[in-house]
Amino acid sequence: MIGLNDIVDKLKDVLSQTTISKKVFDKDVAKALNIPQGTFASMKKRNSIPYEEILEFCAIKKISVNWLFFDQAVDMLKEETEKFFHVRYFSDIRASAGGGAYGFDEKAYQTLRIDRTIMDNMVGLGNTKLEAIHVNGESMEPTLRDGSIVFLDREQRDITKDGIFIAATTTGLFIKRIRQRADGMVELISDNTIYTPELISSDEISIVGKVVGNIESI
């Protein structure tokens, strides 16, 4: 495990870039961290790392914390980060494929990290800021089964393009194919042929986003 002495050596390298003499001492590091020199000397003897002060220093100097503590290069971190999509998962939200479901509680979510190779197989994917919610009902079968998890892209709301959308209405949250009619009404269309299309006024519906993929329930 890295010790304070190792961190101090790196901090000296950083400070030397802006020091005329290029020679940096422990007292200079203590000053940069806003720690009294005597206190800093005691911390070095005890190998007590002042995390809060170091993190603030990194923020000001725009230094990678991972480089400082773990020798991880910024390019390495970027490469690892880009392997995953970060998905906001609303476990309590149900987009109804039958009757209307409840709307979003924007704070009640968990963050999922999903491998990019899995997500790249989803048609229409172009945004890494996705959200995941559940399907409730059978009206979108066989395309979407009851209990499936769907991935939602809020940046795609153009219903003139074919696809399945999440729509918020006065009676709840729906997942349907949506068509704007010439008379101003909006048609909510189910994939399950036993369900007839539903009509709703355009001022009673708001498009939340487009479904770009799904995970089937077991």
Whole-number pLDDT of residue 214: 82
pLDDT given at position 149: 83
What is the b/e burial string over 69-96, where b = at least 16 CB atoms within 10 angstroms of the residue's CB? Answer: beeeeeeeeeeeeeebbebbbbeebbbb
Given a contact cutoff of 8 angstroms between Cβ atoms, the answer to whether 166 and 208 are in contact is yes
pLDDT tens digits, 161-189? 889 999 988 888 889 999 999 888 999 99
In this prediction, the residues of the chain whose per-residue pLDDT falls under 50 are 77, 100-102, 123-124, 218
134 with 94: CB under 8 angstroms?
Answer: yes
Q: What percent of the chain has pLDDT over 70?
A: 71
